[in-house]
Amino acid sequence: MNGHLSNSMIEEQLLLVAGQLTGFCSSLSEADFFYQPDGKWSPAQQVRHLTIATKTSLLAFTLPKFIVRSVGGKPNRASRTYDELVAKYKLKLQQGGKSTKRYIPKPISADIGTHTLLNAFYASMKRMSTAINKKWKEDQPDQYIVGHPLLGKITIRELGYFNIYHTLHHLESIRKIVAR
């Protein structure tokens, strides 16, 4: 995805990747969805991780803008493109970047149910996708910044990009676990 994505394109992509992840995970057996390989997160834990991250990101999209500004400030640079943001995230991961404690999911019992986890994730992505297009004028996501545990200060637009890619990153990880 070269160049900058409009707010409506970010909205579409958030819903698209959320649908891809929930669709794929819905097709898994309960045993596969809750299977935890040694030292890795189960698909269920990855969905929980995405839900925690999405709900945290959602605050930046839904809080009053004056609060976002008072916490994050104003950017001193233009927003990165989607590809530039993804490249920075991949570099941080290659350099050993990991989730901070608050984003690490605890082991999950199958009793909670696949659909409960998937519905919570999809609902948070839907709220975020709606907020970026309804609450933010086209240029506004470039005028506010928020802190990210791995990426440092990023614009609201970049936060949208991050949530798109972050979902795809974990979908690929889930596919690898299932293909074991």
pLDDT of residue 144: 97
Regions of the chain short of the pLDDT cut 50: none
Q: Check which CATH number belongs to the domain holding 59 and give it.
A: 1.20.120.450
Q: What is the pLDDT of residues 120-141, one digit of tens each?
A: 999 999 999 999 989 999 999 9
E strands within 29-112?
A: none
Examine residue 1 and state whether it is found in any structural domain, yes or no.
Answer: no
Examine residue 57 and state whether it is found in any structural domain, yes or no.
Answer: yes
Looking at the 3D structure of the chain, how many domains does it have? 1
Its domain, for residue 133, covers: 7-178
pLDDT of residue 2: 63
pLDDT of residue 133: 85
Looking at residue 65, the DSSP 8-state letter turns out to be H
pLDDT of residue 6: 92
pLDDT of residue 13: 96
